[in-house]
Every structure is written in structure tokens, then in C-alpha cells.
Structure 1
Amino acid sequence: MAVPKRSTLKLTKRIVERLKVERKDAIFWDRDLAGFGVRVHATGRKLYIVQSRGPAGLKRVTLGRVGTETVDVRRREAAVVIDRIKRGEVPIPPEPEPEPTVADLAERCLEKYVPVRCKPSTAKNYRLAIRHHILPALGEKALKDVGPEDVTALHYELRDRPAAANQATWVLSRMFKLAENWGMVPPGRRPTRHARQYRGTSRERFLTPEEYRHLGATLTRLEAEGSMMPSAVAAIRLLMLTGCRSDEILNLKWDDVDRTARVLRLRDSKTGPRMVPLTGPVLKVLDGIEREDGVSWILRGGKAGTRLACLSWHWRRIKQETGLHDVRVHDLRHSYASRALALGEGLPAIGRLLGHVRVSTTAKYAHLVRDAEKTAAARTGDSIGAQIVPGRAEAA
């Protein structure tokens, strides 16, 4: 067993409560009793431990979770255990396996599930929800003791941040589903089953034809002036022309361009591999990008061999230049869907273009269909009414 690098300090209740680590687990050793310490996990879980060398070599024993006993009690227990180890005796009587806690589940989720099954943006949401909201509220609670009232309390505590509240309860629900799969709780033991979410305050913003023209002219001007990276200009144009997500465009490689089949092959899309039609305007943008020998990325970054990492800074510049201060990069995707609807495309076709797996995801654009239908009905009704309803022609 490798001996960890020692960080010693006087362990007190206040000190132990404040101990935390960012990425890797760490052990903080007591200055007064050699071999007594606290192991702090990145998930926030803390355990009192003992480490000492006896006739059989180095042994490490877990005394229990922080919070179940005082530091002084654990220090006295540690002294007894250290003495037993040095005399070659069994260091501590076997204890019943402790009930798994929310912190235990969070640790396993972050180690075994999130890195393997989640995209980077989703993984970030998991980590934020777990570390900032779930663990502080429920970390030391046994899974079997978490009830609907705890979920409701967590959700209510974040009432001033409804998006964070909904995210936290969604992540907690997923964690308990995994706990069922891993045998940590009995099937059906999910306290989040009937949790209610705060009503969304989704902000819809679609570019008008005039705004499209203004944005296009601004990109052309910045490109001609050389005051914006060519890769950034091309990326924004591709987002406008395809309705793709930012990461899907930024991760494009030249091998993804299939000119024979006239498609872009997105190998690592949020919803899995998919193909995007390669239209004439998209081809024109791609043909205008200068290729660099040995570089597979279509949208190159500022350093040799790298790709364009993000559009945040470039988009802030665009908003300043155009005055479109309330438009986000993702609104280009919404605008693409809106334009497709205006041209008569149905929701199923638009869902396929956007790479939606569930119809419900595309359904948020349904009101645009209804608006278009109302406009069409009004035009049609006015046209017929002018000919058959007395007085309509004069009014028109």
C-alpha cells in the first residue's frame, strides 16, 4: 500500500468541516496523533481513517463518517486502533456494512456513469448539480432515508433559481434510477418519482429576414476587413445554414464532408451519429475555407494544429456590431427551424433536420405552425370574403 503524501494540521471540528478538495481525493493527517486523519473525497464525503505499521506491514482502517462522532472521540478510537496494529492484533472489530449514502451514490455516479455515458456539457451539468446543490443538502443522508419531503425541500431551497432547481431534481432522479440498477436501493424506491418542476420560462428568439440580411452583411464586412478570424465567420455561417448545434460545427473534420452523398457526417452529435444535407450554400462556405496540410479540423484555431474552441468572444463582437444584443448563438438554430416552418416544412421533417430523437423536442415549435396556419387562414378568408361577403370589397 503506497503511503500518501502527508498534509498535517490540528484536526478540530471546525477544521474538519471546512476541509474540501476540488478534483482528487486527499488525506489530511492529524498533527497531534500520527496515523490519524480525514480522507476527503471530491464528492464531499469525509471519512476518519487510521494508518499505522505493524508486524504484518502497513494497515489502513476506516473509523467512520465525519459527523457521526466528535473529532476527540475518533482520535481516542484511533489511538486504540494504532496500538493494536503495532502489536499485530486485529485492528478493529468488524462493523456492519454502513448504509450507502447520497454521497456514496454521487461518487459512483461521477466515477462510473458520467464520464462514460454523458457528453461534456451534460457531464458539467451533473457535476454542478451534485457538488453545489445535492451534496450540501443530502450528502450524508442514507439513501433509504431520503424521502419525497427531502426532494421537495431541495427544490424549494432553489426557488429563486428555477432552472438550477429543476436541474438538481432531474439529476437526483437519474441518480436514484442508477441506484436501482446498481442494487443500492430496492426497485421502485425513488423519492423523486412525483417531484414537480418549476414552469419553464423559455425565451424564444427568431431572426427576422431583415436581421438575417444585417447579420450576413456584418459577417461579410468583418471578413473583408480581416477583423474577425475566418474560422469564426465560417462557423457562424454554417450554424445559420444548417441549424446544427455549436459543438457539431466546431468539431467538424474534412473527412466528415461527403461530397458524393452530399452530406455532412456528424459522428459525435449530442443524439448520436447523424447526417446533415450538404446544400449549395454550405458547400460554398466550405470551399471558401483555406485548408492546412496535416490539419484535419475544418475550423482551425489560433494555434497551429488546433480547432476553433468556442464562439463566445466572437459572438459578443457580432452582437456589438449588429445591435442584436438579445440573440444567442443557439438562437440561430431556433431561427433555422422557424424559417423551415415558414417555408411549409412539417414538424417531423424539421425534427430530422435538427437531429431531434424525440418528437416532443420539436413540439416546442408547434405554436409557430399554428401562427402560420392562422395567417394563411386570414389571407384565404379575406380573399374569398372580398368576393362573397357584402361590404367586404369596399372595406378592403
Structure 2
Amino acid sequence: MARPKKTDAPDLAERINLTAGAIERLACPDGKQQAFMRDSEAPGLRVRVTAAGAKSFVYEAKLNRQTIRRTIGDVKLWSIEQARTEARRLAVVLDNGQDPREIERQKQAEKAAEKAAAAAKAVTVGEVWAVYLEARQPRWGERHYKEHLLLVKPGGVASNRAAGGVTAPGILHPLMAMPLRHLKAPVIEAWAEREAQTRPAAARLAWRCLKAFLRWCAEQPVYATVLSSANPAKTNKARESLGKAGVKQDALLKEQLPTWFAAVRQQQNPVIAAYLQTLLLTGARAGEVLGLRWDDINTKWRGLTIRDKVEGTRVIPLTPYVWSLLAALPRRNGFVFSSTTAAGGCIVIPRNPHHDACAVAGIDDLTIHGLRRSFKSLTEWLEIPAGVVAQIMGHKPSATAEKHYTVRPLDLLRMHHERIEAWILEQAGVTFDSASEPSKLRAVL
């Protein structure tokens, strides 16, 4: 049989001693996507050629009656001897009953785990806080989410309302730049002791949020490895530094109603005057009233839809005097208590105007939230059922009968609520004809 010429293409049906020339002459037969040339020196070593002309060393063998094929490397980067050495190594692995592909996958998984662990060690508290907020936002209300943003704001923004002309950083902002792995108990205890000196109430709220954040981190595999087993924020020293919140008692007395109403109704801004009176007469939370939109007012059934932070929404009666206050307001946009200057379209909680009104009325230490407390306290004079007051204010039922068996329709609530409003106005000396029709809504351009 005649020896094939050196210029002929290699016979792919036979094993041959791989040489550079044979590899160079190797070509993929017409009609095929790839072809293999087998080496006679190292069992399992192949040179693969594709229809596009790409050539690489591969190793091919059987394991548990299945073909195992593994790419070694490009023929331009690997020498023939290097490829044979690698093929022999893979043969030893197979001879031990191991799959080289699985070994490689394990190595890649280990490298990925090491890389993730290194990244977790380097990640900052602020970066994880952003991930935490993104994960929890669907389960939170908008206000709760914004409060978490304010806790870590950098501050330094020019503001006429802020002390010193610039906004202060959020109370948790000093912790955001440090690596998460450094957020240990001594660091949090030092933070708690420092912040408790100037703003203990805000520090207690931030501490509770920080504990929830670290509890979430401990549940995430990528962050759990860099935290200690116990929640580093949950220590007795931090708790003692922050102290306990005192029970607030600020509320309007029955005798203070005339001077309070007189001072509030003299406010230059009618929107603020209406807002403060609505707070007192509905017992709603400050943010709930602030977010009222014109679409929330149902004049047909005389209902007011409140965006409740606990239940989502609740509907309370639209009492006559409150409706007269709201109907008289300018309709600038979708918000009832609108503003032409505020970025959000509605007024901000008017703490300073209310403080000034209380000063005029001679009332000390009455906060905005104290108006909600006042509503509950004043209803005691009328012996209104506690469940009715709780439903109007948006408190959760405290008894099984209230929670599962008592259903109060809007009309029943209205009977009690209008009685409360009429009595408060009577004690305040405010003359109001409940049968009069409120002025029509007017649009302000």
C-alpha cells in the first residue's frame, strides 16, 4: 500500500502520530460541522476542526457508558506535548471514576463562592441598606419607605428651614460608609450613646430600624457570613443608652378649645387653618390627613377615605363642619391641602404655625400628634363606645368581639362622629349651621 503524501489531508479514520504538519493539513469534510483527528500516542487526545476552520485539542473517553468530551485548548496556544500531558492527566481522573467536567464545575463554584465572600466582606452598610430597601419596598407603605431613606440621607443641602442653612445628615448616615463586617456591637453602642445625647426619640426609632435591617441581613446567605451570630444591634448597653420613651400626655383640655380654635382660625394661610382643625375633628394621623386627595371625598355618601398606615385604607364619616372647611379650600391640584410652593404639591406638616397658634392661645407643649390624642380624650366626655372611636381613628381592635363580630357601617359611625364634632364646636364657641350646604369647590389656576 502506497504511503500517503505529506501534502494529502490526514485520514480521519485512522489514529496518527500528531504533528504540526498534520494539524495544519487537517480540514473539515464538506457537509459536516466538525471532524476529529485521533492521536496514536496519547489515547483520547483529538484535534477538532470545525467547518469554519477553527482547530483545538480535545480529550474524549467513556465514563459509565457515556462519552466524555473536554476541550483542552486552541492548537495555536497549546503544543502537541502539552496537549498529550493534559490528556494523560484527564485519563487518570477518569480511571479513578471521576468526571473531569464535574471537578471543573466544583472548582468554578468554589471560586464563585470565594469571590462572593470577598465581595461580601468589602460591601458597605450603605450598599446593603439600598438592597434591603429595594427588597422590602413592595411590603412597605410609601411613608415607611421614605422614612428609611431619610435615616441615611447625606445632608448638606441648602435649606432656609434647616439650622445653619443646610440640612443635617440622617441619624444612621455615619454608619453607612463602613464595611458591613465592621458593624459590630461596640460600634452600634457608641453610636447609640452619642445620638442619645441630642435626639433620643429619633435614635430609638433608628435603632429599631437598624435591628430589623440586621435581622434581614442574617437571613441572606451572602451577608450572613460576615455578621456575628447574634444581632449586633440587640444589646443591653445600646438599649440602656437610648432609654425608654416617655408617655406623652399633651392634649387639649375642654377649657382650652375656645382659645385654640380662635388662634388657629386666625392663621393667615387658610389651608393650614383647615388642616389643623381637620386633624382635631377626625383624630387621624398627621400624614394621613396631609395625603388627602379630592378623589378621597365622597359627597354622595358623605365619606372620607383615609390612607391608613395599618390597614391600607379606612373610610370615616365626612362630618358637616369638616366638609365646610374642605369645600372652601382652593382646588389647585389633586391634593386637598395643596401648596403652590412645596415640591410635593401639598403643604408640609405645619409644626411651626401650630406652635405659634398655641403660643397665642397660651397653650404649652401641644404637638401636632397631640391633636389626635385630644380627639380620643375629648370623646370621653360623651361616653362614645371605645370601638367606635378606635375605628374612626384607625386603631386596631383590641378585643375578639371587636375584631371578629362587630361591623359598624358608615351611617352608624356618622351618628357618633357628628355628635363628637358638634360637642367640640359647642365647647369651642364656634357657631356653625350643620344644615347649611358647603360652598362649591372652586378651581384656582
The TM-score with structure 1 as length reference comes to 0.54
Question: Is the Cα–Cα contact under 8 Å of residues 151 and 173 in structure 2 kept in the other structure?
Answer: no
CA distance in 2, matches of 1:114, 1:324: 40
Q: Deviations over 1:294-343 (max 9, x none)?
A: 74433333469954344234324423432224222221111001112343
Work out whether 1:262 is the aligned partner of 2:302.
yes
Q: Deviations over 1:24-61 (max 9, x none)?
A: xxxxxxxxxxxxxxxxxxxxxxxxxxxxxxxxxxxxxx
Distance 1:357-1:324 versus aligned 2 partners, 3 A rule: same
Distance 1:213-1:147 versus aligned 2 partners, 3 A rule: same
CA distance in 1, matches of 2:318, 2:190: 50
Mind listing any 5+ residue stretches in structure 2 that lack a counterpart?
1-110, 155-169, 400-445
CA distance in 2, matches of 1:327, 1:317: 11
Post-superposition offset of 1:117: 2.9
Q: Deviations over 1:108-140 (max 9, x none)?
A: 235554698353466335533586554535753
Distance 1:284-1:159 versus aligned 2 partners, 3 A rule: closer
Post-superposition offset of 1:147: 4.5
Work out whether 1:190 is the aligned partner of 2:221.
no
CA distance in 1, matches of 2:138, 2:349: 21
SS in 1 for 2:368: coil
Distance 1:113-1:285 versus aligned 2 partners, 3 A rule: same
Q: Deviations over 1:341-373 (max 9, x none)?
A: 34324554433222134859xxxxxxxxxxxxx
1:162 to 192, 200, 211: 200
Question: Is the Cα–Cα contact under 8 Å of residues 126 and 171 in structure 1 kept in the other structure?
Answer: no
1:124 to 139, 147, 156: 147
What aligned pairs does 1:258-337 form with structure 2 within 5 A after superposition?
258-266=298-306, 268-271=307-310, 272-287=312-327, 289-290=328-329, 292=331, 295-302=333-340, 306-337=345-376
Structure 2 counterpart of 1:283, one-letter code: W
- Which residue does the alignment assign to 1:228? 268
Question: Is the Cα–Cα contact under 8 Å of residues 265 and 275 in structure 1 kept in the other structure?
Answer: yes
Post-superposition offset of 1:105: 1.9
Distance 1:217-1:256 versus aligned 2 partners, 3 A rule: same
How large is the Cα RMSD of the aligned pairs? 3.7
CA distance in 2, matches of 1:312, 1:123: 19
Work out whether 1:136 is the aligned partner of 2:159.
no
1:96 to 115, 129, 147: 115
- Which residue does the alignment assign to 2:260? 215
Structure 2 counterpart of 1:206, one-letter code: A
Question: Is the Cα–Cα contact under 8 Å of residues 245 and 330 in structure 1 kept in the other structure?
Answer: yes
Structure 1 counterpart of 2:125, one-letter code: V
Question: Is the Cα–Cα contact under 8 Å of residues 280 and 375 in structure 2 kept in the other structure?
Answer: yes
Identity %: 22
1:344 to 370, 383, 388: 383
- Which residue does the alignment assign to 2:287? 247
SS in 2 for 1:330: helix
1:172 to 186, 210, 220: 210
SS in 1 for 2:224: coil
Post-superposition offset of 1:199: 1.2
CA distance in 2, matches of 1:348, 1:324: 30
CA distance in 1, matches of 2:193, 2:329: 53
- Which residue does the alignment assign to 2:157? none
Question: Is the Cα–Cα contact under 8 Å of residues 296 and 304 in structure 2 kept in the other structure?
Answer: yes
Post-superposition offset of 1:243: 0.9
Distance 1:319-1:122 versus aligned 2 partners, 3 A rule: farther
2:189 to 140, 144, 152: 152
Question: Is the Cα–Cα contact under 8 Å of residues 239 and 249 in structure 1 kept in the other structure?
Answer: yes
SS in 2 for 1:339: helix
Structure 2 counterpart of 1:154, one-letter code: W
- Which residue does the alignment assign to 2:131? 108
- Which residue does the alignment assign to 1:356? 395
CA distance in 1, matches of 2:272, 2:129: 38
Distance 1:261-1:303 versus aligned 2 partners, 3 A rule: same
Mind listing any 5+ residue stretches in structure 1 that lack a counterpart?
1-92, 361-396
Question: Is the Cα–Cα contact under 8 Å of residues 339 and 346 in structure 2 kept in the other structure?
Answer: yes
Post-superposition offset of 1:237: 1.6
Q: Deviations over 1:210-250 (max 9, x none)?
A: 21111223344x2xxxx612222221221111011222223
2:248 to 184, 191, 203: 203
Question: Is the Cα–Cα contact under 8 Å of residues 228 and 314 in structure 1 kept in the other structure?
Answer: no
CA distance in 2, matches of 1:306, 1:159: 34
Moved more, 269-278 or 339-348: 339-348
CA distance in 1, matches of 2:376, 2:152: 30
Distance 1:203-1:112 versus aligned 2 partners, 3 A rule: same
Higher relative contact order by CA 8 Å / sep ≥ 6: 1 or 2? 2
The TM-score with structure 2 as length reference comes to 0.49
Distance 1:126-1:204 versus aligned 2 partners, 3 A rule: farther
Distance 1:260-1:209 versus aligned 2 partners, 3 A rule: same
